[in-house]
């Protein structure tokens, strides 16, 4: 009888997915949206892993998937027929790829400028397909998005008058709000952001234009924005695996992904060094946390090393395994080719992170 692989057999550094915990997260979110009317559109960029996305869709309560890039959408189109690219898509090359997707799936893109609109429309008209458009509204996050109200209406009119595209609605991501730890302040800020979005919805509808989809929200505001009348779907992503940034909030999801490393050295009684540096774990949201060693914390990440403070009494030596909780799963997962699906200490599957990086550039090597 072949021995089943265990965590001890995995080469490090590596990402482990606690499958039972992940499944509980998927179920909790699906149950929250089961009664409607708001639906869930899980964000594929959080994990970029088809097997996880398939499980999210199978759990129900979903309107489709959200993607951040054209290449993510191309990967997702193999198993999902309703995709929103919640990002601006510019340039004839990328626009042509969106049009190609429209020939086999219901595809929508976010637009916040006439330039982006014209690129998409030209490609769609050439392929004789129709691409859905959501007007991207700036609701407070200093990133993309057109100003609420009249400026958004002007762009919506432009969309409605342009062949090759169809105005489907609006979107606005309150990303400046989702990580606020104090619940009352997070809720007030989310409602303020949605007031900007929904006031735009009223202006667009009063002008006689269609606005069926109102897409917003994230993991930190799913139960706030997802209960605001008029919002039709939530783009939450991190809930499925979680990270330390979201784990600080009062939301009912478990940390289900950890970074496995091997201890390389214990240079002093209160310090150990592991092989999981920032080439395997990002720290844009702070350094990762140490799992299962009370009082331990990460001091520093270099390319290939994690310098970890540990209690002098900790029973850990070179060759031992150590696990870290990532602080931000999206870019951390992007550093890895596979996720190891585990149940307790047993490896039950290995999942490719198929949409990591920029697959279109890898085609140059063929």
Residue pLDDT, tens place only, 308-363: 999 999 999 999 999 999 999 999 999 999 999 999 999 999 999 999 999 888 88
Say if residue 175 is in the same domain as residue 118.
Answer: yes
Cα gap 115→97, rounded to integer Å: 17
pLDDT at 58: 99
Cα gap 39→306, rounded to integer Å: 40
Strand, coil or helix: 68: coil
* Residue where one domain finishes, among candidates 219, 241, 263: 241
Cβ neighbours around 142 below 10 Å, total: 8
pLDDT at 366: 74
Say if residue 211 is in the same domain as residue 317.
Answer: no
Cα gap 248→57, rounded to integer Å: 27
Taken in order 42, 158, 144, 229, the sign of the CA dihedral is negative
Say if residue 152 is in the same domain as residue 300.
Answer: no
**CATH number, domain at 278?**
2.40.37.20
Mean pLDDT of the chain: 97
Cα dihedral 332/264/267/297 (nearest 10): 30
Say if residue 153 is in the same domain as residue 277.
Answer: no
Residue 145 in domain? yes
Residue 90 in domain? yes
pLDDT at 289: 98
pLDDT tens for residues 1-41? Answer: 456 899 999 999 999 999 999 999 999 999 999 989 999 99
Residue 2 in domain? no
pLDDT at 1: 44
Say if residue 71 is in the same domain as residue 130.
Answer: yes
* Residue where one domain finishes, among candidates 222, 241, 260: 241
Instruction: For residue 100, give its domain range.
Output: 20-241
Cα gap 302→343, rounded to integer Å: 30
Say if residue 210 is in the same domain as residue 267.
Answer: no
Which residue(s) pair with 284 in the sheet?
A: 286
286: left (phi over 0), alpha (psi -120 to 50) or beta: left
**CATH number, domain at 142?**
3.20.20.10
Question: Does residue 134 register a pLDDT over 60?
Answer: yes
Say if residue 181 is in the same domain as residue 265.
Answer: no
pLDDT at 15: 99
Question: Does residue 89 register a pLDDT over 50?
Answer: yes
Q: Number of folded domains in the chain?
A: 2
Residue 54 makes CB contacts below 8 A (sequence gap 6+) with 79
Q: What is the pTM (predicted TM-score) of this model?
A: 0.96
């Amino acid at each position: 009888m072949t021995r089943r692989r265990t965590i001890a057999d995995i080469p490090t550094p590596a990402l482990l997915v606690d499958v039972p915990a992940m499944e509980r997260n998927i179920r909790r979110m699906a149950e929250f949206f089961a009664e409607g009317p708001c639906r869930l559109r899980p964000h594929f960029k959080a994990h970029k892993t088809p097997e996880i996305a398939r499980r999210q869709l199978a759990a129900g309560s979903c309107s489709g998937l959200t993607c951040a890039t054209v290449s993510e959408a191309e990967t997702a189109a193999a198993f999902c027929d309703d995709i929103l690219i919640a990002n601006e898509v510019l340039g004839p090359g990328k626009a042509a790829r969106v049009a190609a997707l429209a020939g086999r799936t219901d595809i929508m893109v976010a637009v916040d400028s006439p330039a982006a609109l014209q690129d998409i429309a030209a490609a769609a008209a050439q392929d004789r397909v129709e691409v859905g458009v959501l007007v991207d509204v700036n609701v407070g996050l200093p990133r993309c998005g057109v100003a609420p109200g009249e400026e958004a209406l002007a762009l919506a009119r432009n969309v409605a008058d342009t062949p090759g595209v169809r105005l489907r609605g609006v979107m606005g991501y309150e990303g400046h709000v989702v990580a606020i730890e104090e619940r009352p302040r997070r809720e007030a800020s989310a409602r303020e952001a949605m007031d900007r979005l929904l006031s735009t919805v009223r202006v667009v509808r009063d002008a006689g234009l269609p606005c069926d989809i109102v897409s917003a929200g994230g993991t930190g505001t799913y139960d706030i924005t997802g209960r605001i009348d008029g919002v039709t779907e939530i783009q939450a992503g991190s809930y499925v695996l979680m990270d330390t940034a979201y784990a600080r909030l009062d939301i009912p999801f478990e940390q289900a992904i950890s970074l496995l490393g091997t201890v390389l050295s214990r240079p002093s009684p209160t310090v150990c060094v592991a092989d999981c540096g920032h080439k395997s774990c990002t720290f844009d949201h702070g350094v990762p946390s140490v799992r299962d060693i009370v009082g331990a914390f990460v001091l520093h990440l270099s390319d290939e090393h994690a310098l970890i403070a540990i209690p002098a009494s900790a029973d850990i030596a070179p060759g031992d395994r150590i696990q870290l909780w990532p602080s931000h799963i999206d870019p951390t997962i992007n550093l890895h080719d596979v996720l190891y699906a585990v149940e307790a200490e047993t490896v039950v599957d290995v999942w490719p992170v198929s949409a990591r990086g920029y697959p279109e550039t890898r085609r140059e090597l063929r």
